[in-house]
Amino acid sequence: MPEQPRPPLPYDFMPAVPSFELGSEDVADGETLSKPQLMNGMGMTGEDRSPQLSWRGFPPETKSFAVTCYDPDAPTGSGFWHWVAVNLPPEVTELPAGAGSPDGSGLPAGTVQVRNDTGRPGFAGAAPPPGDPPHRYVFAVHALDVERLDLDASATPAVVGFNLRFHTIARALLIPVFGR
């Protein structure tokens, strides 16, 4: 069977915006995720620990941030949202490893985590099906033109994405991979 083309990134369908710098002590573009960023479940023994992230160079008019992690290669027909957090204040430019815990205790006050595609809040680690080519895990920090998105924890990642489409003024991406 010939190799299938890679699905596009979700941001390929949104208006083009400037980029800024996104870095991490735990993950890197094109590099394989480590055990802490793997799922604890679905046949995996990872830690479901979100990576440390830091960003700079975003527009001065940024009023808040959103942080997301998406796997466009998941065999679902709609990808897989691993993490969605919104309403981070503009003075926050770094999240420590583990900030995406289900209780959100590592996130700034006022941040809202919506359910990931496992149905729970927080970061869900990578768990691609055995034998799949390595999946891409698209960590994105979105600089927004509003102080907060009017969303609560019951919002879906799709509803967040709809809001991000209209309020993102710049976006930074970091895309590590993982396969098994």
User: What is the CATH number assigned to the segment(s) 10-178?
Assistant: 3.90.280.10
Amino acid at 171: R
**pTM of the full predicted structure?**
0.96
Q: What pLDDT, on a 0 to 100 scale, did the predictor assign at position 6?
A: 87
Question: Starting from the edge strand earliest in sequence, which strands make up the sheet with 94-95, in order?
Answer: 21-23, 53-56, 94-95
| Length reported for the chain | 180
Burial class (CB in 10 A: 0-12, 13-18, 19+), 93: middle
Domain ranges of the chain: 10-178
What's the average pLDDT block by block, 10 residues per block, for the chain (180 residues)? 78 95 98 98 95 98 98 95 98 98 96 97 97 96 98 97 97 97
